[in-house]
Structure 1
Amino acid sequence: MTENGVRNRQKNGKQSGKQNGVATHQEEKIQDEEFSVRESPLTSLLASSLHLRAIYHIFVVILLVLICDTVIFDLVESGKINIGLSIVAAGFGDVSRGIKLWLYDFCVVMSFYPLLVVYSWTGAISRKYPVLRPTVVLLGVIGIVAVEVAVAAVPVYELGKKHLELGSSVAVTCEMFRFMMKLVSVASACGPRCVNGNIPLPTFKHYVYFMFAPTLLYRDQYPRTKKIRWGLVVFHFMEVGAIVFYNCFLWERFIMPYWSDYGKEKTVEAGAVVRGMFACVLPGVISFLCGFYCVLHAWLNAWSEMLRFGDRLFYEDWWTTSRFSLYYRRWNRVVHSWLRDHIYLPLAPYFGRPLATFAVFFVSSIAHEVILALSFGFFYPVLLVEFGILGVIMVPLTATAGRRFPNVFNVIMWLGFFIGNGILWSLYPMEYFARRNCPPSENDSFFVPKSWSCPEVILKPNWSFQNPLSILFTK
């Protein structure tokens, strides 16, 4: 579909929605899924707003201050400078093993295209002999399931047997899920073509392009820009590198001092744990914002520019929302569009919107938890509880009230981000270091948190509660 055709289709869809009052699910899908040439929101805002550019500069200054802090600390303590390189090296340890796992997945994904061609031949036979069509369809389903299992099995087995360091394992597992989701998109778009024979299969070149394009929805054509701005590509990759160091500095200066010795002593005071959790709130939110900017803005925009991919609306202005339903839609449009097209819309007509929504949250939260479990080397469903349970509860609670009191509920949403990220940046490091520092036990398990039993959290000796208001009534 050409760019003008996309615009006309969107325009006609909007006019139809205005005439009917309420758009149907199919109309919403058509309006939302079409691609057009457009910039990311932060790209437009940074270009037009000096105020937002100043906030960007504030984050740059924070990074520079953290670098100076690290340099001075290293000079005073050890007489050498590593500028956080030791944390980066530790976080991305055993890169060669991670690359091998990625290459395995890539080879499996590339082998799917010739299988698709073979399947189209069997589809041609089924058109001559209609009695074979159910068998051919069943073979197609079995084939895509087998390929999906092949993509996931080896990385899951290898990381389960011996996990990589955190950065490398996150990259491997995220790429594993990305390939699996793209294969589903290709299969759902091209499978019916193989059976019906009404539309030809994509070329291998376009298939490879889709595997690297910053989208999870397959289309025969995407809007393309006229040229590649290599300076912009370099700038975005420099941002990615800077944010990696940014998070390493946060880990080294705010996480390590509080949690690196967790488990070395048999007991720990509850006050120290609470102080550590609150100390992790601010670095947790900064890391949350940096992670969003790194992946959904800098990384995807760099690949978009290299591939001349025109549609760069990877997210929307989620930071202004007062309803959690809008936040989940705007936070990551790339994944949200895939979940909508391949889980929500197929299930909603048969099982209803509430159950389809629950299925979306369930699949998404499980995927996030698998990534964290394989990355850390243990199962600790903190994110699953925050995202898959509390997040689901907040959707109906903010549906009406968020419209009536947008400012209040935007504050509540940000309060949830602060508290939630502080908890994540506390509980996961506590469990991580408890498994490293606590002595081995026969009760150790991948699924049972060790930080619950080692060390023992106790109150401060001779601790007692004193009413702070009692001073007003004395004398």
Structure 2
Amino acid sequence: MTENGVRNRRKKVKQNGEAIHEEEKKEYEEFAIRESPLTVLLDSSLHIRAIYHIFVVILLVLICDTVIFDLVESGKINIGLSVIADGFGDIRRGIKLWAYDLFVSMSFYPLLIVYSWIGAISRKYPVLRSTVVTLGVGGFLALEMAVAAVPVFELGRKHLELGSSVAVTCEMFRFMMKLVAIASACGPRCLNGNTPLPTFKHFIYFMFAPTLLYRDQYPRTKKIRWGVVVFHLLEVAAIIFYNCFLWERFIMPYWSDYGKEKTVEAGMVVRGMFACVLPGVISFLCGFYCMLHAWLNAWSEMLKFGDRLFYEEWWTTSRFSLYYRRWNRVVHSWLRDHIYLPLAPYSGRALATFIVFFVSSIAHELVLALSFGFFYPVLLVEFGVLGVIMVPLTATAGRRFPNAFNLLMWLGFFIGNGILWSLYPMEFFARRNCPPSENDSFFIPKSWTCPEVILKPNWTFQNPLRIFYAN
């Protein structure tokens, strides 16, 4: 290819990239002062507030039911508090791992200052520019590896309890994504010297702000409403209790003894999986509300962070592509800016979208693998395979039949969460209850071989319409 041809090709790629950037930016505005959708709905609609009250009443009724059951059966009350204590066991070690990641992440700023000094030297001696760029990229990758290496090694060496390990792994990924955002924004500044670097105060603010996109300025509110902060933190505590209560009340009765017997009837497994559908989807909704609404709004209020659009109205959509964009705008925006947009001009939209799904699904599965202590890629299959397939399948049909496909999406949420809340506990308790074996492995599910799943002895299918024939 001639030099002009190469130049024209680069120009075309650049133009395509700019077009993709502009089209994507039309959908997502820059940061602005705005409330979360549920905040607006709860304040403006008595119907939505009534649904909120229904969830609170369901929790209260379930608590009363469990209290009565415990008093009648054993004379004591146990409403999930033991699950919370066990789930966040060894919390001191978890805090140490989090503090390590925080310290390593904070070290990025002085390293950035040093790199800016080196960049200033490279501007005087352009021959050193490529070496300085290589040094910066290598140093940043080493810092990212340092953030991830110790938590991964420590969780692999000695497993933390589920709640503590989820918190540690999620914070590990959050710090790594924050560093990518600020490095991509400030790295070129060190080399060009045209724009000043952020102050350390702003760097600290970004590391705790409820966003993964770096900006030199964010819209800020005028004051902190401490009543709002306390209310949202109480919601977080209540939802943690709610999920632990669901685990103890609906999951453990079916799966806590899984693996203690050599055989288990297939009918019991199927019944248990269907019994987990409702608690699974309730946990799914509560988890969404806890993390993407209550927790992020509490931090936004404390930091006077004005933009609270952490999600959009995903529950009304009929297309999986919109669901993935709206469900978690915080992570989606990071994936869009740091993976999809840089790749799309060169690889095409389809491949860039696939890479985004692949990276996201792998990250989600790593969180679960490090948290549970085993690799069981159920979520990877549901999210990274079936989810990808549903994106083109619902692209056109979802527009033509929005009501029908919204119903189908919710059916998928119910079934998918029921499967998740069945297979992961089955594997979790199988590894606890089944006797050790030389074939035990982090990557091979133990629940496939222990216990043995059998049909009920002398089981036969009875025709449910036989009574009508008899009459």
For the criterion TM > 0.5, the same-fold answer is yes
Asked if 2 retains the 8 angstrom alpha-carbon contact of 1:35 and 1:222, the reply is: yes
**Displacement of 1:68:** 1.6
Structural mapping, 1:17-166, within 5 Å:
24-31=19-26, 32-166=28-162
Q: Count the aligned residue pairs.
A: 453
Amino acid at match of 2:145: V
Partner Cα distance (2:329, 2:160) in 1: 29
- CA–CA separation in structure 2 for the residues paired with 1:30 and 1:274: 46
> Secondary structure at 2:453's aligned position in 1?
strand
Is residue 279 from structure 1 mapped to residue 248 from structure 2 by the alignment? Answer: no
Residue in structure 2 matching 1:434, options 412, 430, 437 = 430
Distance 1:411 1:113 in 2: 48
Q: Secondary structure at the match of 1:457?
A: strand
1:352 alignment counterpart: 348
The 3-state SS of whatever aligns with 2:196 is coil
2:227 corresponds to 1:231: yes
Q: AA paired with 1:168?
A: S
SS in 2 for 1:124: helix
Measured against aligned partners, the alpha-carbon deviations of 1:257-300 in whole angstroms (never above 9, x if no partner) come to 11111111111111111110000000000000000000000000
Name the aligned partner's letter for residue 23 of structure 2: E
Selected match of 1:460 from 456, 462, 465: 456
Alignment of structure 1 residues 286-365 onto 2, 5 Å: 286-365=282-361
Please tell me whether residue 216 in structure 1 is matched to residue 215 in structure 2: no
CA contact (8 A) 2:264 2:452 kept: yes
Task: Give 1:82 deviation, angstroms.
Answer: 4.1
Kept after mapping to 2: 8 A contact 1:314/1:332: yes
CA distance in 1, matches of 2:337, 2:29: 9
Mapped partners of 1:235, 1:406: distance in 2: 36
Q: Would you say the 8 A contact 1:173–1:374 is kept in 2?
A: yes
Counterpart-to-counterpart distance in 1, 2:127 and 2:140: 22
Secondary structure at 2:447 match in 1 = helix
Decide whether the 8 Å contact of 1:70 with 1:249 is kept in 2: no
Measured in 2, the distance between the counterparts of 1:91 and 1:342 equals 34
CA distance in 1, matches of 2:31, 2:308: 9
Q: Distance in 2 between matches of 1:194 and 1:319?
A: 43
SS at match of 1:451: coil
1:235-250 equivalence runs, <5 A: 235-250=231-246
CA apart distance, 1:81 = 2.9
Ranges in structure 1 where 5+ consecutive residues have no aligned partner: 1-22
**C-alpha deviation, 1:83, in angstroms:** 3.5
Q: Conserved in 1, the CA contact under 8 Å of 2:20 and 2:345?
A: no
Q: Deviation of residue 24 (structure 1)?
A: 3.7
Partner secondary structure for residue 399 of structure 1: coil
SS in structure 2 of the partner of residue 450 of structure 1:
coil
Structure 2 residue matching 1:226: 3-state secondary structure? coil
Q: Measure the CA separation in 1 of the matches of 2:24 and 2:467.
A: 62
CA RMSD of aligned residues (A): 1.2
Deviates more, 1:170-179 or 1:58-67: 58-67
State the alpha-carbon separation in 1 of the partners of residues 29 and 361 from structure 2: 23
What do the CA deviations read for 1:403-440 (whole angstroms, capped 9, x no partner)?
00000000000000000000000000000011111111
What letter matches 1:26 in structure 2? H
Identity, in percent, stands at: 85
CA distances 1:308-347 after superposition (whole Å, capped 9, x unpaired): 0000000000000000000000000000000000000011
Whether 1:258 aligns to 2:257 is no
Give 1:407's aligned residue: 403
Shift of 1:237: 0.1
Give the Cα separation in 1 of the matches to 2:65 and 2:330: 37
Three-state SS of the structure 2 residue aligned to 1:452 is coil
SS at match of 1:373: helix
Confirm or deny: 8 A CA contact 1:70 1:84 kept in the other structure.
no
**Equivalent pair of 1:40/1:315 in contact (CA under 8 Å):** yes
Contact 1:431–1:449 (8 Å) recurs in 2? yes
Partner of 1:389: 385
Per-residue CA distance 1:428-467 (angstroms, 9 max, x = gap) = 0000011111111111111100000001111111122344
In the alignment, the residues of structure 1 paired with residue 117 and residue 70 of structure 2 have an alpha-carbon distance, to the nearest angstrom, of 65
Give the match's secondary structure for 2:461: coil
User: What is the Cα deviation at residue 471 of structure 1?
Assistant: 5.0
**C-alpha distance in 1, partners of 2:88/2:130?**
48
Matches of 2:92 and 2:62, distance apart in 1: 30
Q: More deviation in 238-247 or 437-446?
A: 437-446
1:33 touches 1:337 (CA, 8 Å); kept in 2? no
1:33 deviates by 4.9
The offset of 1:78, in angstroms, is 3.5
**The residue matched to 2:300 in structure 1 has which SS?**
helix
Cα offset, 1:184, TM superposition: 0.2
**Whole-angstrom distance in 2 between the partners of 1:125 and 1:229:** 47
Question: What residue number does 1:7 align with?
Answer: none
> What is the CA-CA distance between 1:162 and the residue it aligns to?
1.3
- The residue type equivalent to 1:231 in the other structure is G
SS in 1 for 2:106: helix
Counterpart of 2:172 in structure 1 is 176
Alignment-mate amino acid for residue 189 of structure 1 = A
Aligned partners of 1:304 and 1:310 also within 8 Å: yes
